Structure 1
């Protein structure tokens, strides 16, 4: 199994490669990718250096072009495909069918991975993308149980990649409406939920802090209480006389205990979420997963979860708690 790690900047890319990533995924510094935060992502020069660094060590770099352009702006996304090919990227990760079609026609030798934003969860959907656009891999959305993943691996016409660790999303990827409902800026089109220009932090006289998204109160934190980046799905709201995480608690997906089962199913790649996180996060998480994967490949019959792996990953989890999410559920 490939270990595919995130990089929001050049130091993170280097950290991923140095700590065992087989491939790194990154984005350009614009709205063509779904992590378009200010100060994040790559200029052409940085990406060229990053690709050279990875290739010199036998690793790959994938370009995330996974947002949905408006028809009037399609040429910007097509130009991004051209740049990815020119820079020597090993694959693009895309969801919009017009963009996949353009890439297949204009750069047939550049592998195309179907993004999680494409929300392909059935054999029929995967077959369509494979036959029509020649995708070489598909990233499965984080809504499937482990049993569903196993069945898809057995029937899919292309290798499959699954999310292994990182932030969860309660929406079906590619169809989120929460951020656009509050801000008018769709994460699927504008590249980020909770765009920074809509975020306002205020410190209160008692030392507490409030955070608002386009004027809507998302959360209130006591003095010294850890605070995450505000998103609608992970805010605390007053409902029925109580204030709580009404939609989703801050927590991170962690499937490390499922590693043997994912390998046996034939999963081609394990993906770490977190292009918005720093080099320390990327390096630490990549190192744990590299050790776990190598230990399983070396002696699968003796593999077991090590306490130090669990502790290291929990330190980087949202809310310092982890979950198997939809991978583990009674119904599927």
Structure 2
């Protein structure tokens, strides 16, 4: 087990960054991440895509590299165990403790109990997948399992985040600031399972690669399908994102459009000063399925913005090129639709 020789002193707002590959991990550290979060290459990880994530051997090496740089590494074991297969998730917790992870990010109550009982010195963070958004829920999880940090769901306003942070102290809060969004309640999405038989909550993947098909039609257009369901059609040469049901385009009432959610990225960068003032402990970037160039760019921009805000000045990150669909929203942080 490896640990940093001298853990870095807490910062007013730590920057927690994604890494789906060793290259992305190195990019995050070099760009200024205070902590990096990764997952194992199996269903225990909510970004369970082919070619991503880490074996136990690779994770041990990743922890060692991160610690040599004086940073922290968190391991996301943030799906819910399938009945009869709990040993797979237990083994992931064991592997994380053996690797020397600074924390594990868990959503399932049974896994929290297992980690507390078998690895009492392992720091526990509550995943956003647990959807804990009330003082009572967070206090219970802290008292029952020793949870030390909660990643809050992306449905709270800045005022609500601030009030909740004060109410649950000394439990730390962490919030998402940039990246992909989902219209479903955290940890409750079943759309993918209806079409593919696999749920992101238990299999760790939304729109599994084996179900994705792109077909070129006679006129040159490209259709995107999940199994036998067409969920989008793009003109020849136009950009096409990874197909998911919630961001598909469908025809209804004579109109074709995005019925659930348009491709848009969360970007809460302009709330950084307010999050610091509100006592939030960490800011999280989404994107373990993205490449190292994305990680390097987004992390560097947020590092600059956070440091400027702490120093008393502030400039917004320039991240238009990294936004899904070229558009961004602050989401629920200011909830302008009220």
Q: What TM bracket, shorter-length normalisation?
A: over 0.9
**For structure 1, which runs of at least 5 residues remain unmatched after alignment?**
none
- CA distance in 2 between counterparts of 1:331 and 1:139 reads 24
Contact 1:256 1:305 in 2 (8 A): no
Task: Show the 5 A alignment for 1:1-332.
Answer: 1-157=13-169, 158-298=171-311, 300=312, 303-306=313-316, 309-310=317-318, 313-330=319-336
- CA distance in 2 between counterparts of 1:294 and 1:114 reads 26
- Give, in angstroms, the shift of residue 330 of structure 1: 4.3
* Structure 1 length-normalised TM: 0.96
Say how many residue pairs are matched: 325
Q: Give the 4+ runs in structure 1 shifted more than 6 A.
A: none
Contact 2:19 2:287 in 1 (8 A): yes
Cα deviation digits, residues 250-280 of structure 1 (max 9, x gap): 0000011011001000000000000000000
**For structure 2, which runs of at least 5 residues remain unmatched after alignment?**
1-12
Q: Identify, as 1 or 2, the structure richer in helix.
A: 1
Secondary structure at 1:212 match in 2: strand
- CA distance in 2 between counterparts of 1:165 and 1:204 reads 35
Contact 1:211 1:230 in 2 (8 A): yes
Give the root-mean-square deviation of aligned CA atoms: 1.1
Which one is further off, 286-295 or 46-55?
46-55
Q: In the alignment, which residue of structure 1 is the partner of 2:5?
A: none
Cα deviation digits, residues 181-231 of structure 1 (max 9, x gap): 222211100001111111111012322100111211110000111101011
* Structure 2 length-normalised TM: 0.94
- CA distance in 1 between counterparts of 2:307 and 2:176 reads 18
- CA distance in 1 between counterparts of 2:308 and 2:151 reads 24
- CA distance in 2 between counterparts of 1:110 and 1:47 reads 16
- Give, in angstroms, the shift of residue 179 of structure 1: 1.0
